[in-house]
Amino acid sequence: MKLFEIEIGRRYKCDQKDGQYFGTVKEKRDGSIGVAMGSKVGTAAPVDPLGQPEIVWLAPEHVHPL
């Protein structure tokens, strides 16, 4: 996606080394997207059910609409 198309607060599918994850965009800075990662696409279990998800910075091309 293009940077301007990505909205803060919306959920997207995000590329990671081991597959795609659902993530919520928390901020945009210097051409990167700050995403709080959730569960892996295709699984029911959250990544970290007890803690706050850490912000992962991604390039816009690694963020996809649901």
Instruction: Report CA 63 to chain centroid distance, whole Å.
Output: 7
Q: Once rounded to an integer, what is the mean pLDDT over residues 52-66?
A: 91
Conformation bin of residue 64: beta by default, left when phi > 0, alpha when psi is -120 to 50? beta
pLDDT (0 to 100) of residue 17:
92
Q: What would you report as the CA-atom Rg of the chain, rounded to the nearest whole angstrom?
A: 11
pLDDT (0 to 100) of residue 27:
96
CATH for 3-64 is 2.30.30.430
Domain boundaries, the chain: 3-64
Q: How confident is the model at residue 4 (pLDDT cuts 50, 70, 90)?
A: very high
pLDDT tens-place string over residues 10-55:
999 999 999 999 999 999 999 999 999 988 898 766 555 556 678 9
DSSP state, residue 3: G
Nearest to 9 by CA among 23, 30, 29: 23
pLDDT (0 to 100) of residue 48:
53
